[in-house]
Amino acid sequence: MKLTTLTVLPACLATVACQSERLLDTGDALAARSIELQVTATGHVGEIEYHIDPMAVPAAVRTAMDELHPGGAYTAAEKEINDGVLYFELSRTVGGMEVEAMFRPDGRLHSEEVEVAGTAVPEAVRTTAMDARSGAMVTKWEEIRDGDHRVVEYHVKMTSGGMNWKVIVAPNGALLAIYREIPAEIEVPVGN
């Protein structure tokens, strides 16, 4: 299977065909601390994450997070649009590891990203990730769990040559995708 390396870059902004598509919600963008975009291989935006104050997340989501992963302060929050569906994500540190849980606005769990030690990751996953970005240094291993807490994939954060990468690997070791994480500047108008 041939995989294309994808970049986190607002590619749609540069193409004439996408000029009429609405890329960002201006109000959400202005309220955000930062914004992340994930683009598809065709250059369309598949995911937008608005980094927000944890207290801006619906109370049902905060309650669900507290029941799922109790204790400690929230370390981050996001309002996320993924394939047109609205989610809220909360993060906190549990047992020294970062835990991010994504919920629907009513508090129903969608998925979790749980930081784990490299030794807890299956050998097939470690081998695939290291082969995908030969010579790169792993900065974080994450289990991605569905709403039923089953591990569905691994995200391996890596760095090499001053660049950041996310390698996505199935539990059986199959390479699913490689993303290059690129800092970007987004300018949002605040009025006339």
Q: Where are the domains of the chain?
A: 1-90, 117-185
Per-residue confidence band for 43, with pLDDT thresholds at 50, 70 and 90 = confident
**C-alpha distances in Å from residue 186, one per residue of 34, 81, 103, 183:** 9, 17, 26, 10
Q: How many CB atoms lie within 10 A of CB 187?
A: 6
- Residue 103's φ and ψ, nearest 5 degrees, are -130, 155
∠ Cα 14 17 23 (to 5°): 65
H-type alpha helices, the chain: 26-31, 59-68, 123-132
pLDDT digits (tens, 9 = 90+) for 53-85: 999 999 999 999 999 999 889 999 999 999 889
**Taking all residues of the chain, what is their mean pLDDT, rounded to a whole number?**
88
Q: Among 109, 112, 164, 103, which residue's Cα sits nearest to residue 138?
A: 164
Per-residue confidence band for 12, with pLDDT thresholds at 50, 70 and 90 = very low
Q: Classify domain 117-185 at the CATH topology level.
A: Nuclear Transport Factor 2; Chain: A, (3.10.450)
Give pLDDT, residue 1.
Answer: 35
Query: pTM of the entire structure?
Result: 0.85
Give pLDDT, residue 72.
Answer: 87
